[in-house]
Amino acid sequence: MGDAIFAPLYEVLRARGVRFEFFDEVTGLRLSDDGDLVERLEIRRQVQLRHDGGYDPLVRDPGGLPSWPAEPLWDQLRDGEDLRAAGVRFEATEAARHAAVRTLRRGEDFDDVVLAISVASLPPICTELAARHGRFARMLEHARTVATQALQVWMTRDREELRFAPAGMVAGAYAEPLDTLCDMTHLLEREGWAPGDGVRSLAYLCGTMREVAGETQAQADARALADGLEHLRARAAVHWPGAAGPGGFDFSVLADPEDRDGEARIAAQYWRANIFGSERYVLTPPGSIRHRLRPDESGVANLVLAGDWTRNGICGGSVEAAVTSGRLAARALCGSPAFVPGTEGWLEAD
């Protein structure tokens, strides 16, 4: 996603003159007295940059492809290494100490607003909007999201040896919590492995994650690791019969540059919990679509909505839904595109 979708979109927009201000957290959307306009936006600068030239979010893969990294580029942030060591998670609305707050004002800093923050992050930001506009409040009330987790494993046996077929397969509805599996071996050539590294296959696993109130990102990540280990121990041999050993999963199959023993090889893999705000997956429970708002239905004259949580013709958590919603938002702002495929027909019937 970061390499194939977000990085190209970022590069295109930057080339068109769009200004990006990273690490700016919207904390409040304030309305006019009559509730008809967005008058102010309150924004917290989560961290200061080390240099005045702005933040460059991209890295290059071994083949030179611009890619979006899994965490901030700490060397571009003031006190970045200290923030990294402290485990600051900007996605969890955390920030450096003494983070500055500023206010953008209508007519001075903006005319129109596109609210494209994901729906799980909106309640604390949009208190005034929900209080003044009942449809928006009902949309928030009926919106549902879920935490997710992911595990990626690099293995020293190829698909044939693992009996992992067919190539490029995607499988779902297996045992929870990591009930979805995708063969991503085709990406190895982009990752720069040398033949001597012995990495011959790659798999991604993901699924939903049980909610734990008050949990930190570090605690959730530790739980994702434990879930991943348990999945490998108890269930992975169904995916990869060629990785089954006498006592279950043969952990020596996991690639590890440090060549650790047994389950310790999991440390060379990648795991992550997605529990906060915009990282959560947007659900579509039965009967919920009628409560969604189209991008032009915010109820506020200078506010347009965008995201897979809007009513957009797909109404399911996906990049396709987000892009479709974005095109509808563009039409609401400027009248173009006149037609957005997938937004009319039986899927849009109540």
Q: Does residue 350 have a pLDDT over 80? A: no
Interval 202-259: pLDDT, tens: 999 999 999 999 999 999 999 999 999 999 999 999 999 999 988 889 999 999 999 9
Rounded to an integer, what distance in angstroms lies between the CA atom of residue 223 and that of residue 302? Answer: 43
Q: Does residue 345 have a pLDDT over 70? A: no
Q: Does residue 296 have a pLDDT over 80? A: yes
Task: Decide: helix, strand or coil at residue 180.
Answer: strand
Q: In the chain, where are the structural domains located?
A: 2-138+283-348, 148-274
DSSP 306: -
- Per-residue pLDDT, 247: 83
Single-letter amino acid code for the residue at 122 = L
User: Which residues are within 8 A (CB) of 130 and not within 5 positions of it... i.e. 6 or more apart?
Assistant: 123, 136, 137, 140
Residue 268's φ and ψ, nearest 5 degrees, are -90, 0
Q: Which of 155, 207, 149 is nearest to 185 (CA)?
A: 155
Quote the tokens at residue 243. 């990785």
- Per-residue pLDDT, 346: 61
Can you tell me the mean pLDDT for 186-190? 92
Q: Which of 281, 153, 151, 171 is nearest to 227 (CA)?
A: 151
* Predicted confidence band of residue 96 (pLDDT cuts 50, 70, 90): confident
- Per-residue pLDDT, 349: 59
Q: Does residue 119 have a pLDDT over 70? A: yes
Question: For the chain, what percent of residues have pLDDT higher than 90?
Answer: 85
As a whole number, the mean pLDDT across the chain is 94
* Predicted confidence band of residue 200 (pLDDT cuts 50, 70, 90): very high
Greatest alpha-carbon span in the chain: 71
Question: For the chain, what percent of residues have pLDDT higher than 70?
Answer: 98
Q: Does residue 299 have a pLDDT over 70? A: yes
CB 117 within 8 A of CB 329: no
The dihedral sign for the CA sequence 118, 123, 127, 130:
positive
CB 164 within 8 A of CB 242: yes
User: Which residues are within 8 A (CB) of 296 and not within 5 positions of it... i.e. 6 or more apart?
Assistant: 304, 305, 328, 329, 331, 332
Can you tell me the mean pLDDT for 306-331? 96
**Model pTM?**
0.92
State the DSSP H helix or E strand holding residue 5, giving kind and residue range, or none if neither. Answer: none
Question: What does each C-alpha distance from 67 to 3, 31, 51, 119 come to in angstroms?
Answer: 4, 38, 21, 26
Q: Does residue 168 have a pLDDT over 90? A: no
The C-alpha angle 123, 1, 17, rounded to 5 degrees, equals 80
Question: What does each C-alpha distance from 253 to 27, 59, 256, 316 come to in angstroms?
Answer: 46, 29, 9, 36
Four-CA torsion 328, 332, 336, 338, nearest 10 degrees: 70
